[in-house]
């Protein structure tokens, strides 16, 4: 999915996501082209906790905790 699709499907929610396809722009910003939602979280703290846990298991993958506001 892309970010617009995720915001439509998961409005106003904290999510743990993985960047399936991404690139860095010339201005050094990370642009996520294709994103998978891994978990819906109740709040920012639980999203961050899930992020830390999965990053410890799979440190070479690109994960983010985000809010779809």
Report how far apart, in Å, the C-alpha atoms of 63 and of each of 17, 67 are.
6, 13
pLDDT digits (tens, 9 = 90+) for 9-30: 999 999 999 999 999 999 999 9
pLDDT digits (tens, 9 = 90+) for 25-65: 999 999 999 999 999 999 999 999 999 999 999 999 999 99
Contact by Cβ (8 Å): 1, 35: yes
C-alpha gyration radius of the chain: 12
Contact by Cβ (8 Å): 17, 64: yes
* Mean pLDDT, rounded, of the chain: 98
Write down the pLDDT at residue 40. 98
Domain ranges for the chain:
3-67
Token pair belonging to 64? 């983010």
Three-class SS state of 62: coil
Which positions ≥6 away from 46 have C-beta within 8 Å?
14
pLDDT digits (tens, 9 = 90+) for 60-69: 999 999 999 9
């Amino acid at each position: 999915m892309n970010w617009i699709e995720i915001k439509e499907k998961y409005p106003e929610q904290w999510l743990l996501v993985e960047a399936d396809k991404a690139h860095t722009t010339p201005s050094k910003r990370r642009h996520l082209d294709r994103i998978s939602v891994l978990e819906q979280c109740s709040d920012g703290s639980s999203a961050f906790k899930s992020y830390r846990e999965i990053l410890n298991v799979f440190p070479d993958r690109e994960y983010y905790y985000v809010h779809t506001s």
